[in-house]
Copies of this chain bind each other. A is one copy, B any other.
């Protein structure tokens, strides 16, 4: 018996360098893996426990969010039309100092509901109170790489905080039926000193995990690092041994050519979050150059206080359009490249080689997108319609690890009314700004 048979979809495969569309294909799922993808009718529907008719739908791999601060959804809209300094010091870090573990749990559920509704099946989440986030992921049925954010700046005995996060790593590694992986998450070279970064790298090596951190977000960060240390933020990380373990480099908006070579040699992965960077006017990462150097560049949503949605399709579209704009060349970063970034490259960044494509043997993380709306018609070009015309709301069905999480836009694992009500009940307290109370200080 098969567990699930999806019938008659237009199937997008996102193998690197070989994005293909197969019209009228069936997808067989057995357990948590894709068993077969064949022309419709070749698989006996009678063998399947459940059959989904995907006529007028596009099937593609579940989208991968390679960098996120998920529970920040609690503060959506709180920091608009402000510089990055004001954004950190007047909005984010004061507000985040209000968070309790329970707030983060409900925030994470709200964000996971949003991501499932947008076809995002995997997220690299870099935040606080990560045990609660892991519980939320367990419940939602999605896949996640979780890192507990830590700072050394202004923290007494930061090594103790780091140790607590290594305990989280051990507690949840491989949790939720293998859907959860855990990495370390020192926040950035501008909030973590070199000794702390070295300690993080040492721990990551011992635990056999990677490091998820923020690097070279602004020109000013690079300049300050050069002035203070004589090295770029990437070089500081290198000297601390961070590149000796797997890395998710969030943003990398302003790498030097040397930094790009360094990432390529190290096998580092980049998470590109273009909407944040437009909104904060921080500059756009040289995605083409990084891809040409062989660096996997996945797509991230960042937190919604800068990005406002967790919609990876929206970010991927922006990523493609902005590289055309920045390079003054309409022919670069093609639709195939962009879809590869959102799926296969995201999986490479997270070191999850069984993800990122819709093909036999891969983990069964996939989504169905409706095409029967005016804005998706006619379907002359399946991949163009997905990248440039679809909305998150066109995602009809979401499957992760072989299990249905959404069908006909109904969430099957989460109760969104309850989640929204819980979140609302917390907002009066969470919106307070207590003078002098903030998590960190941003200097630029």
| Residues of A in contact with B (beta carbons under 8 Å apart) | 73-78, 80-84, 87, 110-111, 113-114, 117-118, 275, 277-284, 304, 308-311, 321-322, 324-325, 327-331, 334-335, 372-375, 377-381, 384-385, 388-389, 391-394, 416, 419-420, 423-424, 427, 431
Q: Identify the closest chain B residue to A325 (Cβ).
A: B278
Bound together, the chains give a CA A354 to CA B391 distance in angstroms of: 32
Bound together, the chains give a CA A255 to CA B373 distance in angstroms of: 37
Which of A84, A309, A325, A379 has the most B CB atoms < 10 Å from its CB? Answer: A325
A sample of 17 inter-chain contacts (CB < 8 A) reads: A77-B378, A78-B381, A83-B330, A83-B331, A84-B330, A278-B321, A279-B388, A280-B324, A280-B330, A304-B389, A309-B375, A374-B420, A377-B423, A378-B424, A378-B427, A380-B427, A392-B393
Bound together, the chains give a CA A329 to CA B309 distance in angstroms of: 21
Q: Min CB distance, A74 to chain B, in Å?
A: 7
> How many protomers of this protein does the assembly include?
2
- Contact of B82 with A331 in the complex, beta carbons under 8 Å: yes
- Contact of A375 with B118 in the complex, beta carbons under 8 Å: yes
Bound together, the chains give a CA A380 to CA B389 distance in angstroms of: 29
Q: Identify the closest chain B residue to A328 (Cβ).
A: B281
- Contact of B325 with A284 in the complex, beta carbons under 8 Å: yes
- Contact of B373 with A335 in the complex, beta carbons under 8 Å: no
Q: Identify the closest chain B residue to A87 (Cβ).
A: B330
A80-B381, A389-B76, A431-B380 as given contacts; A281 in contact with B330, CB under 8 Å: yes
Q: Identify the closest chain B residue to A117 (Cβ).
A: B374
In the complex, what residues of B have CB within 8 A of residue A374's CB? Answer: 73, 110-111, 113-114, 117, 416, 419-420
Q: Min CB distance, A415 to chain B, in Å?
A: 11
In the complex, what residues of B have CB within 8 A of residue A114's CB? Answer: 373-375
In the complex, what residues of B have CB within 8 A of residue A416's CB? Answer: 373-374
Q: Min CB distance, A301 to chain B, in Å?
A: 11
A374-B113, A391-B391, A391-B393 as given contacts; A77 in contact with B380, CB under 8 Å: yes
Bound together, the chains give a CA A112 to CA B418 distance in angstroms of: 37
Q: Min CB distance, A332 to chain B, in Å?
A: 8
> Given A113-B374, A117-B373, 19 other A-B contacts at CB below 8 A?
A76-B385, A76-B389, A77-B379, A77-B389, A80-B334, A80-B381, A81-B331, A81-B334, A83-B330, A87-B330, A110-B377, A280-B324, A281-B329, A283-B325, A309-B388, A309-B389, A377-B420, A391-B393, A393-B393
Q: Nearest 7 pairs between A and B by C-beta?
A: A77-B381, A393-B393, A308-B388, A77-B384, A278-B321, A114-B374, A113-B374
In the complex, what residues of B have CB within 8 A of residue A284's CB? Answer: 325
Bound together, the chains give a CA A281 to CA B110 distance in angstroms of: 37
Pick from B82, B281, B378, B419: contact of A327, CB below 8 A.
B281
Bound together, the chains give a CA A31 to CA B75 distance in angstroms of: 41
- Contact of B310 with A375 in the complex, beta carbons under 8 Å: yes
- Contact of B389 with A375 in the complex, beta carbons under 8 Å: no
In the complex, what residues of B have CB within 8 A of residue A77's CB? Answer: 378-381, 384-385, 388-389
Bound together, the chains give a CA A321 to CA B317 distance in angstroms of: 14
Q: Min CB distance, A401 to chain B, in Å?
A: 21
In the complex, what residues of B have CB within 8 A of residue A82's CB? Answer: 330-331
Which of A324, A379, A424 has the most B CB atoms < 10 Å from its CB? Answer: A324
- Contact of B117 with A375 in the complex, beta carbons under 8 Å: yes
Bound together, the chains give a CA A89 to CA B278 distance in angstroms of: 32
Bound together, the chains give a CA A378 to CA B76 distance in angstroms of: 7
In the complex, what residues of B have CB within 8 A of residue A375's CB? Answer: 114, 117-118, 309-311, 392
In the complex, what residues of B have CB within 8 A of residue A389's CB? Answer: 76-77, 304, 308-309
Bound together, the chains give a CA A328 to CA B219 distance in angstroms of: 11
Q: Identify the closest chain B residue to A109 (Cβ).
A: B374
- Contact of B378 with A321 in the complex, beta carbons under 8 Å: no
Which of A372, A391, A427 has the most B CB atoms < 10 Å from its CB? Answer: A391
Bound together, the chains give a CA A138 to CA B331 distance in angstroms of: 39
- Contact of A391 with B388 in the complex, beta carbons under 8 Å: no
